Amino acid sequence: MFNLSSFVQKAQSAAQQLIDPMQGLNLTNSDRNPSKASLFQSQFRLPGSQTPLFEIPAEPYHPSFQRRLHLSESYLCFSTTPTSFAQTASTSTSSAFTGQTHGAGPSGNGFTFPLCAIRRVERLNSQNFQFSLAITTWNGISQEQAKDKEALKDRKDFREQRITVQLAGSRQTCERFCDGLKKGLRGAVGSVGKLKRVVSECYSEYLLRPEEKKSAASPDAGLGVVFKYPGDPKKLRDRAKMRLWAEYLRDNGRNATLIRQPTFHKLIRVGLPNRLRGEMWELTSGSLYLRLENPTLYTDTLDKFSGRESLAIDEIEKDLNRSLPEYPGFQSEDGINRLRRVLTAYSWINPDVGYCQAMNIVVAALLIYMSETQAFFLLSALCDRLVPGYYSSTMYGTLLDQKVFESLVEKTMPILWEHLVKSDVQLSVVSLPWFLSLYINSMPLVFAFRVLDVFFVEGPKVLFQVGLAILRINGEELLDAADDGAFISVLKSYFSRLDESAHPKSENPKLRAINRFQELMVVAFKEFSAITHSTIQDLRLKNKDAVLNNIENFAKRTAIRNLGPDSKLLSPEELGALYDRFFGVLYERQQRDHIIQEEQIRRAKASKTRASEAFPEHHDHGVEKGRVGLGPSTSLMDYDAFREFLASVSKWAISDAPPASPRRDPSDRNPYFGSFRRSDPNPLSPWGTGPEPANHEFMQRLFRKWDVTNSSSLTLQNVVTGLAQIKGGRDIMGTITYFFELYDDDGDGKVDREGILRVSEALLFLSRRGLEGVLSNSNSTTVLNGMTEADSTSLSPPIGGTVNERFLGSVSAFIRRCFEYADPDHPDNQDELAQARSHNTSFIPEEDKVVEDGAFTIGDDGDDDEEEGDLLAFEGSSAEKLDLTPRPPALGKPTAQDTTQRAVSKAQSEKANVALDPSNPLHITLPTFRMVVLADELLEQFFESSFPTSLHIIDGLPNVASQSSSLTTFSSLNFNRPAVAPPPGTQPGLAGAGRGLRGVLDNIVTDASRVAAEVRRRMEEAQRELEKNALPGQRDEDEEDEEDLQGPIKPSGAYSGDAERRSVRSSDRDLLDGADADAGSSKEIDNANQSRLETNIGQEGRIGPANNNATQRIVEFES
């Protein structure tokens, strides 16, 4: 659906674009080769800010440890898992922890110390030139305040935590590691306060406090403290567990300074004691480190958004009373309020997820065991790392993991799987709620929490292992179940009997004492021990595309169906294609933004840091952000995206600036420019691989028209409605009316002088790459311009040979007729002039903006208007007269006669048409506009067929690169000489096109009178014959007139000058281009400069061919 591959490739080359395989399911190709940083974060459950800086083999004198010490910006980690994240390490070494962990979880045995939890590091004198470090921690920091007074007394209960580590590297490696550590420790000093605050909320601090000091309130260990924890504490042996934990924590450190020994994992497997459960979840999931990074985020978020409303909040409100309603805590205001605050705060910090049903159940469960703040960060760790994409707006993570689960069932229980397929039972209808609510609303709470205990240590694979074990244990009964209903009831009854003995008939009392839940755990972790995180990850990658495509198809289907009545005007195929294009453009733009950002960060970083320290950035959001299936990013199209969208369907919407087209065939490259042109397409081009879109006033008008809510952005609905109005009706009157309304800015049914000129500009703009649609082949339209077949054939080159040339004539006639039939605003009131001027300048409020950033500018101040009026007067009537005999464009040297002739006609015209008097504001109405359009067959065809057809919604533009070369402009018209016409895509064509457009449209917009003048010039040679005799008498006078008029507008722009410019263009075009561009916007100047620069550089090496080329072109024009 989207052109993904090119971006992915680019992403990989532009910046090592990587996603944490555990954090975020945005699985891309790079996941097959995840970054060291993300693996590192995953192993030690560290926040995204941490990257592996140094590591060193180490042998602590602490029992049972022997592996590697890792240092990141603010963490010192030690693990017995043999991983390495050094740049030279292989991926399998870096991801060893995702395989078998034997119950120790990814982080293995060892420790994860925040550097701010390290009080002191001493280097010990040791033999063999080995480095030995003694690390003293802030273990028990919350009791430190007592140090002075009762220091001695405390010493008895409080042992300082001191670990000795022997570094086993070369002297140099050790030195470097120690330097890094020193630097890190210095930086961490400021965070000790944070640490103190964070650990003071941990129950372990209270637990380990000496009895006589427990008077202070204990930290919030969840609603359970008040409303009782689920289950019978005696049955759960809560006291015994608590004693074991107290001992463990005393020996091995607590919370931030805890050391993971094998006992630690065993203690977790047997179930956490109620009051420590929250803290251990926080620690094992790594959400403690998130809290440590920003301890006040939760309260700050609540404060910041206090009183604000959102859709998520509405949804949360609906569910507050229905979250674990059977637990007394959630029948109380206190419990409901906690739940509301945590869900609301999270919906603010992660608007992409917002709120998803099932989060209420999960958070409610967390709140039984932990404080609001802890639950908030744990929810964050869940959504980002543990069950990524589960609660996203498309729930792609949930759907993906269902597919993964199904393939695991197929692999491990083929007979059951076959049965499911045969009886047409869809497994996910059963298993989806297990995963989505982490078994919390499937199993009795006491057991669901036991699953969670292990889940937070070992990660998402636990959900799969437990799910598989459930099916395995119930296999026999499930094989008898023939439909969804039977299947569900088997499992329902199993869950309700989890506390019963698994072997009630056994004679062995020990065996009899094992309940079904214990059995489940054993099966899950023994029988399915082969299911590792890598297994899951591989299957996720394998199924990802199918799942996303399903979601996208569904989303597309739904979106298209809900587009409303306007969409019926378009065919289903058009709507489908439109949908793809709309989101395709948005998606690609986001990708590009992302890549560009990446690149900037990378460059900034590379320039600042030494190469050895430049580690790839970690990113929470993958490069695929923006893909519909992954949930919302944006569904709004801004003006630039709109331009890009138009450029993908219409050739007129492609910019005339020479594109850095990546699709250019090297063999096509013209030697003239070849040496300069960036040979590799710039991957950072703001338009990606597509052509640069134009930025014409017409496109701005279209955007504003479609943007019915004035929000400066379009929804899919807006675009469909907009296009349906143009393409849907296929009714010429409708299209004409539509066009008229585009230019009727105040909606009063009138388009004034300015508007008429803008309409004609738009017509030229839209036709400059040729007309499409059904056009008559006859030259009958030219009759309207007074041209006959005889004329056109007698003159060489043949005029009217191409429709596109004839269209220029039609536009000219259009302007003439418009002014001819225009109604004066106030025929008798000359004083209206001033008013009209101000009207002119104000009726397009964004005019200034257009001038600044548009590619084309329009002189719109009062003075110009006046002169414009004069010129128009000239144009209107002269066109009327002179166009009687069309001529081929004078692209060669104009004669003096031509100039004179123009002057003559101008004088005549001023007298001829009162309506064109600048002091008489005028306008045309819709009927007039319609009449004028219908008077010209070609224009009629343009509105009837050509314009609607020019939007290729379904097939798009076939070959974008070649489009830009085929401009129909005055300077690029070549009178049907295919032999010498620049081949599509070659540089002369492009350059010509660029120039041609500037030559025409710039002039048009800076000096509106030239619309007609340019058209006419094309025909001058034919005209000359007829008007030869009228010249001599008036020449001088009229020339002066002309200069008066032209001078102030554009000193060098008088017709004679312009004509001269054309004649010398081949040699001086660079300079003139510059002058030409002066009249344009700054952007235009840039373009001109750029092309000039290109030309110059190109010429340095290749003067010969360049000159030849230019000469040849002159000859062509003159022939």
Beta-strand pair 54-60/750-752? unpaired
* Binding residue (CB under 8 A) for other proteins from 16, 200, 332, 357: 357
At residue 547, what is the residue type? V
DSSP single-letter state for residue 73: S
Which residue, 482 or 783, is less far from other proteins as judged by CB?
482
Q: Is 433 in the site for other proteins (CB under 8 A)?
A: yes
What is the rounded distance in angstroms from the CA atom of residue 73 to the CA atom of residue 50? 6
Total residues contacting other proteins (rule CB under 8 A)?
49
Closest by CA position to 467, among listed 407, 421, 415: 407
At residue 95, what is the residue type? S
Which residue, 392 or 812, is less far from other proteins as judged by CB?
392
Q: Which helix (H) or strand (E) holds 762?
A: helix 753-767
Beta-strand pair 75-79/110-114? antiparallel
Q: Is 563 in the site for other proteins (CB under 8 A)?
A: no
Residue with tokens 């205990």: 453
Shortest Å distance, C-beta 424 to other proteins: 7
Residue ranges in 1057-1096 that form contacts with other proteins under rule CB under 8 A = none
Shortest Å distance, C-beta 468 to other proteins: 19
Contact 356, 312 (CB under 8 A): no
Which residue, 553 or 838, is less far from other proteins as judged by CB?
553
Q: Is 987 in the site for other proteins (CB under 8 A)?
A: no
Which residue, 251 or 545, is less far from other proteins as judged by CB?
545
Say how many C-beta atoms besides its own lie within 10 A of residue 1109's C-beta.
Answer: 18
Contact 468, 528 (CB under 8 A): yes
Contact 740, 939 (CB under 8 A): no
Q: Which residues contact 844 (CB under 8 A, 6 or more apart)?
A: 745, 850, 860
Shortest Å distance, C-beta 492 to other proteins: 7
Shortest Å distance, C-beta 714 to other proteins: 22
Q: For CA atoms 528, 533, 538, 543, give the dihedral sign.
A: positive
Which residue, 546 or 1071, is less far from other proteins as judged by CB?
546
Q: Is 361 in the site for other proteins (CB under 8 A)?
A: yes
Q: How far is CA 597 from CA 200, 377, 591, 630, in A?
A: 39, 28, 10, 20
* Binding residue (CB under 8 A) for other proteins from 11, 395, 536, 813: 395
Tokens of 660: 């850095």
φ, ψ for residue 145 (rounded to 5)? Answer: -60, -20
Which residue, 485 or 983, is less far from other proteins as judged by CB?
485
Shortest Å distance, C-beta 1 to other proteins: 16
Residue ranges in 450-509 that form contacts with other proteins under rule CB under 8 A = 477, 480-486, 488-490, 492-493
Judged by CB under 8 A, the stretch of 47-55, 162-170, 372-380, 554-562 that binds other proteins is: 554-562
Which residue, 472 or 1069, is less far from other proteins as judged by CB?
472
Shortest Å distance, C-beta 387 to other proteins: 13
b (16+ CB within 10 A) / e for 296-334: ebbeebbeebeeeeeebbebbeebbeebbeebebbeeee
Strand order in the sheet with 750-752: 750-752, 922-925, 823-824
Shortest Å distance, C-beta 489 to other proteins: 4
Shortest Å distance, C-beta 556 to other proteins: 11
At residue 1088, what is the residue type? A
Q: Is 562 in the site for other proteins (CB under 8 A)?
A: yes
At residue 362, what is the residue type? V
Which residue, 434 or 819, is less far from other proteins as judged by CB?
434
Q: Which helix (H) or strand (E) holds 231?
A: none
Which residue, 433 or 681, is less far from other proteins as judged by CB?
433
Say how many C-beta atoms besides its own lie within 10 A of residue 1079's C-beta.
Answer: 21
Tokens of 693: 């879109």
Burial of residue 655 (CB within 10 Å: 0-12, 13-18, 19+) is buried
* Binding residue (CB under 8 A) for other proteins from 239, 322, 497, 977: 322
At residue 38, what is the residue type? S
Judged by CB under 8 A, the stretch of 261-269, 389-397, 658-666, 801-809 that binds other proteins is: 389-397
- Map residues 905-944 to x or -, x wherever contact with other proteins holds by CB under 8 A: ----------------------------------------
Which residue, 632 or 859, is less far from other proteins as judged by CB?
632
Residue ranges in 397-426 that form contacts with other proteins under rule CB under 8 A = 398-399, 424, 426
Which residue, 562 or 711, is less far from other proteins as judged by CB?
562
Shortest Å distance, C-beta 493 to other proteins: 5
Shortest Å distance, C-beta 551 to other proteins: 5
b (16+ CB within 10 A) / e for 349-384: bbeebbbbebbbbbbbbbbbbbbbbbbbbbbbbbbb
Say how many C-beta atoms besides its own lie within 10 A of residue 529's C-beta.
Answer: 14
Closest by CA position to 989, among listed 653, 673, 764: 673
- Map residues 276-315 to x or -, x wherever contact with other proteins holds by CB under 8 A: ---------------------------------------x
- Map residues 597-636 to x or -, x wherever contact with other proteins holds by CB under 8 A: ----------------------------------------
φ, ψ for residue 654 (rounded to 5)? Answer: -90, 135
Q: Is 318 in the site for other proteins (CB under 8 A)?
A: yes
Q: Is 568 in the site for other proteins (CB under 8 A)?
A: no
Question: Interface residues with other proteins (CB under 8 A)?
Answer: 315, 318-319, 321-325, 356-358, 360-361, 392-395, 398-399, 424, 426, 428-429, 432-433, 436-437, 441, 477, 480-486, 488-490, 492-493, 550-551, 554-555, 557-558, 561-562
